[in-house]
Amino acid sequence: MKLKFSAEVQKALENQWPIVALESTLVTHGFPFPDNLSIARESEDAVRASGATPATIAVINGAIHVGLSDAELEFIAKPHHDYMKATTRDLPVCMARKQTAGTTVAATMAIAAKAGIKLFATGGIGGVHRGVADTWDISADLTELSRTPVCVVCSGAKSLLDLPKTLEALETLGVPVIGYGTNELPAFYTHTSGLKLDARVDTPAEAASVLKAHAAIGAQNGILVCNPIDASMGLPKDEIERHIEAGLKAAELQGVGGKAATPFLLKYIVSATQGRTVEPNKALIRANAVLAAKVAVEYAKT
Ligand code: PSU
Ligand code: MN
């Protein structure tokens, strides 16, 4: 896979400085413009301020970029109905057709691993969808986590998913799921989900030591570090649940499914809450970028 590195990322790779990968589907499909552009920039700045180099990953006109210039960030953030949402399997098609795409957690992990990047920050991963028995909709993020040695720092999986089934699938796939300062799986907009985790760390150094041990045994799968949203930013669980239920009904009525399901529901929730989910969503992404950078710094020390 031929990768196009930004000068900043190239330099960090050469010097073995800590790097944090950032995904771009949340830019192309996850947030409305211009919030998508501001969160992309803020995540990059948060990584830099915490001592690491940000590597936002995207496909631009068929080329896989690892690290974007500000002009390139703006290019993918500007509303454009042709941009793809690329998971791992979409990359060859996107490249051959010289298309532009935001990369999902799965595709970003695959590319980060090729680039030699260990840490990756995002908002929430994809997982097992509600209604899976009828739709078989299970995000390829889980597949990638099962086979790609990158640590993903997130705030759990979006509550629009089936969280208990997502946790079960992660266990089956052998993916360590580690709470950061919590014993529970965070539920994205809310601090808690009621679902207990087996593992917890409380400092970046502790998280880095788990990554070291994971590498030492030659593990070839991913690790999830789950960092809950700041309690003061969380949204009422009942209200979010109401909007999710309504969004799922709307998706069904409009025949929206497959890869369009997640972007549809994200848009639905933003509009149903008059945009009140945008700030908490941005805050948790920034916090995850900071934590991933701190873990990358610790990891590079040892
Ligand atoms: N969660 C968010 N915002 C997002 C996504 C997840 O809060 O934009 C994106 C991520 O890129 C994730 C993808 O990898 O949705 C999962 O999509 P799917 O369920 O189609 O695999
Ligand atoms: Mn899906």
Q: Can you name the residues that pair with 120 across neighbouring β-strands?
A: 21, 152
Among 158, 259, 282, 294, the one annotated catalytic: 158
Nearest CA among 115, 126, 144, 112 for reference residue 21: 112
Residues 209 and 214: their CA atoms lie apart, in Å, by 9
Q: Which residues approach ligand 1 with their CB closer than 6 A?
A: 23, 25-26, 29-30, 87, 104-105, 123-124, 126, 139-141, 158, 259, 262, 266
What's the mean pLDDT when you consider all of the chain?
A: 96
Taking the CA of residue 25 as reference, the ligand 1 atom at the shortest distance is 11
Structural domains of the chain sorted by starting position, each given as residue range(s) with its CATH number in brackets: 3-301 (3.40.1790.10)
DSSP code of residue 260: G
Q: How far, in Å, CA of 205 to CA of 210, rounded?
A: 9
- Residues 256-274 have pLDDT tens digits of 999 999 999 999 999 999 9
Q: Which pTM does this prediction carry?
A: 0.97
C-alpha distances in Å from residue 212, one per residue of 69, 128, 149, 173, 195:
31, 29, 11, 20, 26
Q: Look at residue 53 in the predicted model and tell me its pLDDT.
A: 99
Instruction: Kindly give the distance from the C-alpha atom of residue 272 to the centroid of ligand 2, in angstroms, as a whole number.
Output: 22
- Tell me the mean pLDDT in the region 68-94: 96
- Alpha helices by DSSP H, listed for the chain, are 7-14, 25, 35-49, 70-77, 91-96, 105-115, 132-135, 140-145, 163-172, 204-216, 237-253, 261-272, 278-301
Q: pLDDT tens across 115-163, in order?
A: 999 999 999 999 999 999 999 999 999 999 999 999 999 999 988 899 9
- 3-class SS of residue 138: strand
Bridge partners of 102, per DSSP, are 58, 85
In terms of phi and psi (left: phi > 0; alpha: psi -120 to 50; beta: otherwise), the region of 156 is left
